[in-house]
Amino acid sequence: MTLWSRWVARTSATEGATPLALFRIGMGISVLVTLGSVWLHGLVPVLWVDQAHGGYRALGQGPWLVALLGGPQPAVVWPLLGAASVCGLLLLLGIGGRGVALLTLLTTKGLVDINGHAGGSYDELLANGLWLLVLGNGQATLSVSAWRQTGDWWPRAEVLAFPRWLAAFQLVLMYSMTGVQKLSVHWVPGGDASALYYILQQPTWQRVDMAWLAWVFPLTQLATLITWFWEVLSPLWLLAMWCPAVRGAWQLRAAFAAVGLILHISIFVTMDVGPFTLISLAFYPAMVHPWELRRLTGRG
């Protein structure tokens, strides 16, 4: 086969639809939580509206969609928030196909990009995930669309495989690049491994006072080293997915997933870092092969 033929064959391969559907559900929930947290805390007119209309800083014309609609003013931001929320709900329910995924991406990104001081890298992670749902049919199962077409909420269906693999790559890329950028003596082996301890002492991030960690400082050192090694070595997680028949691949994947779950739950309990935990965990279904889910559930 020529290189082009191999590329076409690889990108045309199909697989069971359940992991991508779970990814879609996670993305829909992430959109609603991201937008809802700003709305419920009464911060929409503060963060996403220009200073001239009551916001706390000058925001210029905003990203292209907001600028096209008239700039970051209440008459633009509130309807856009409503549209993004409806799109997020439709995405969660599985209505509207790739078009809804695209509208969710455009409206949500239009809002979160208004104020660069009020977001985080999780906004880009969310946008990347939504784009992958534009590429892949995440509504083939576990959706209202599937129920209307087949009479079954969870029918067995086939979808393109490459969007799920791109989601898995995105997750591992995020972890590995986070790890290799932690070059401080407080992170890398051989240093004092005090990074997590000091992070958890920062009032801007901690949910509650964490001064008591001084009594268990060695445990925070151990957690620091585990986190660093897990992030730096995370490409092995993707490699083990690619070679599932290799001896020990399943155990390695299970270990990486378990550490990741513990890490994100710990972050959620101890730190306020926005919707980072939820958005990251939404990618985890992409790390499971459809045939593995089918073996466990007998469906999808």
Confidence (pLDDT) at 300: 62
Cα-based angle 67, 123, 227 (whole degrees, multiple of 5): 160
Q: Residue 296 corresponds to which tokens in the numbers above?
A: 């466990």
Look up the pTM and report it. 0.95
Q: Which two tokens stand for residue 36?
A: 């809802």
Determine how many CB atoms are found less than 10 A away from the CB of residue 212: 8
Q: Rg for the chain (alpha carbons), in Å?
A: 21
**Residue 66 · residue 73 · CB < 8 Å:** no
Among 110, 23, 57, smallest CA distance to 293 is for 23
**165, amino acid identity:** W
Task: Tell me how far apart the terminal alpha carbons of the chain are, to the nearest angstrom.
Answer: 32
Tell whether the torsion through CA atoms of 226, 227, 233 and 234 is positive or negative: positive
Would you list the DSSP string of 95-129? -SHHHHHHHHHHHHHHHHTS-TTS--HHHHHHHHH
| CA–CA separation, 138 and 211 (whole Å) | 44
- At 1 the pLDDT is 64
pLDDT of residue 11: 87
Q: Enumerate the domain spans of the chain.
A: 15-297
Alpha-carbon span 294 to 288, nearest angstrom: 10
**pLDDT averages per 10-residue partition of the chain, 300 residues:** 84 95 98 97 97 96 97 98 98 97 98 94 96 96 96 95 98 97 94 96 92 96 97 98 94 97 96 95 98 84
